[in-house]
Amino acid sequence: MTEAIIEKDILLAEDDNDDVLIFDLAMKQIDIPHVMRHAENGEVLFVLLKEKVPYILFLDIHMPCKDGLACIVEIRKNKEYDNMPVIMYTSNLSERIVEDCFRNGANLYMTKTATINGLVEKLRKVFSVDWNNYMHYPPQNQFVLS
């Protein structure tokens, strides 16, 4: 009898279609069975979260309707999402924004890369964490994934 492959439900909140395409291509390269859902803004994100809490959420900071900072604050106020890892996914490296994301309960801060290979390496690091068995909150000096 073969073991059933369990696909990880990945939710990407990102308003830039090119970034969504690049993220999807990188996910296919890391060879993790997954289903990827996409929210094009913060309002759609909460609709999708109500339908199903994902294995992991990648959250862009600069989105229309409700930005990523407002989303992480709202997410961490809701006990339903206590076990959901939230990885900030952005091109913004402002120290103030990084600090706000850290203080408001994001699990990691992952900057967008110039290449798919760079993104693949970062995603491998994210998926090397056993998110099912513990929530990873690194010290602040390890919060930004490089």
Query: What domains, with CATH codes, occur in the chain?
Result: 8-145 (3.40.50.2300)
For residue 27, the model assigns a pLDDT of 96
Q: Is 112 exposed, middle or buried (0-12, 13-18, 19+ CB in 10 A)?
A: middle
The span from the CA of 75 to the CA of 70, in Å, is 9
Q: Is 144 exposed, middle or buried (0-12, 13-18, 19+ CB in 10 A)?
A: middle
Per-residue pLDDT band for 95 (boundaries 50, 70, 90) equals very high
Number of CB atoms found within 10 A of residue 132's CB: 9
Please state the separation of Cα 53 from the chain's center in Å.
Answer: 12
For residue 138, the model assigns a pLDDT of 85
Q: Is 45 exposed, middle or buried (0-12, 13-18, 19+ CB in 10 A)?
A: buried
Looking at the predicted structure, is the pLDDT value of residue 6 above 90?
A: no
Q: Mean pLDDT throughout 62-70?
A: 92
Q: Which phi and psi (to 5°) does residue 99 adopt?
A: -60, -45
For residue 140, the model assigns a pLDDT of 87
User: Please, are residues 11 and 23 in contact by the beta-carbon 8 Å criterion?
Assistant: no
